[in-house]
Structure 1
Amino acid sequence: MAKSRDTFDKKEKEKLRQKKKQEKQQKKDDRKSNTAKVTDFENMIAYVDEFGNITSTPPDPSKKRVFDADTIEIGVSKHAEPIPGENLRKGKVTFFNGSKGYGFIKDEVSQESIFVHINKCIDPIQENDKVTFETEKSPKGLSAVDVKLFKAP
């Protein structure tokens, strides 16, 4: 007679597989029987209170606040258009390359270096000239516009 090829380990693994299969089937049956309770719409609703917390109770209508949509600012706040000449700055040309058409002005007040292009100059400028100018935002930072030679009174 030949020995059975089913060893103890094989039998134990088969028992575990059958047990898992039964547990899986039991869970499946439980889910099907509890479907009516879980899918009730009222049980799925959640509310957000005035503090932003999620609750199961609906909000109190007496605590409702009304807002004017026109007063809500999204993004950058609205600014009034600047008056020309209002933000006139003084500075000294620290570097200017006439052949390439650009240079830098050092502001007297903030001591920051501001880019200037020859197209934004009203008067011809050179290094060490004292100038008055306005600034505008460019993609790479501040740049000087309306650059004029400073004339002392």
Structure 2
Amino acid sequence: MGRSQETFSKKEKEKARQKKRKDKEQKKEDRKANPSRGTDLDTMMAYVDENGNLTSTPPDPSRKKAIDLDDIVIGVSRQEDMAEVAPREGIVSSYTESKGYGFIRDLKSQQTVFFHKNGLIDPVSLQDKVSFQIEATPKGPSAIEVRKLA
């Protein structure tokens, strides 16, 4: 006689399928017996408290704060608004006249700022003390209106 074609793993898989089918039938009967649809709106409502957390209780009207709509700012302030208006002072740390650009070391912040010969008002040379303003460019800050100080 031949061996049975049913192996242990086949039996286990069939048991798992039967159990899954039974569970599915049980869930179907539970849904029919206890319908979750038709619940009232109050049980489904969620509120936000003063800290921004979701809660099931409505907010207390006595804790309500009045907010002026003009005080609400949406977006980020423009780059021109954030730029410094006062001229800065610095020393020309490097300048290549043939290429037409150089760098200024700011005296206050010790920051190195790029400048181009188109931003010069007075001709400058290495180690000159200058005053300048900073302009935001796509490649970073750049010095403009560079004037040689006496």
TM-score by length of 2: 0.77
Q: Distance in 2 between matches of 1:133 and 1:15?
A: 83
What is the DSSP-based 3-state SS (H/G/I as helix, E as strand, rest coil) of the residue aligned with 1:42?
A: helix
Q: Distance in 2 between matches of 1:122 and 1:12?
A: 89
1:116 aligns with 2:115: yes
- Identify the residue that residue 55 of structure 1 maps to in structure 2: 55
1:149 aligns with 2:148: yes
Q: How does 1:3-152 map to 2 (within 5 A)?
A: 5=4, 9=8, 14-35=14-35, 37-40=36-39, 41-76=41-76, 87-151=86-150
What is the DSSP-based 3-state SS (H/G/I as helix, E as strand, rest coil) of the residue aligned with 2:62?
A: helix
CA contact (8 A) 2:115 2:144 kept: yes
- Amino acid in the other structure paired with 1:61: P
**Once superposed, what is the RMSD of the aligned Cα atoms?**
3.1
Q: Identity, % of aligned pairs?
A: 49
How many residues of Structure 1 are paired with residues of Structure 2 in the alignment?
147
Consecutive unaligned residues in structure 1, runs of 5 or more: none
Consecutive unaligned residues in structure 2, runs of 5 or more: none
**CA shift in 2, pair 1:12/1:133, >3 Å:** closer
Deviation at 1:116, TM superposition (A): 0.7
* 1:81-136 deviation line (CA, Å, top 9, x unaligned): 69x9x612222211111122110011222222111111111112222222221222
Deviation at 1:75, TM superposition (A): 4.2
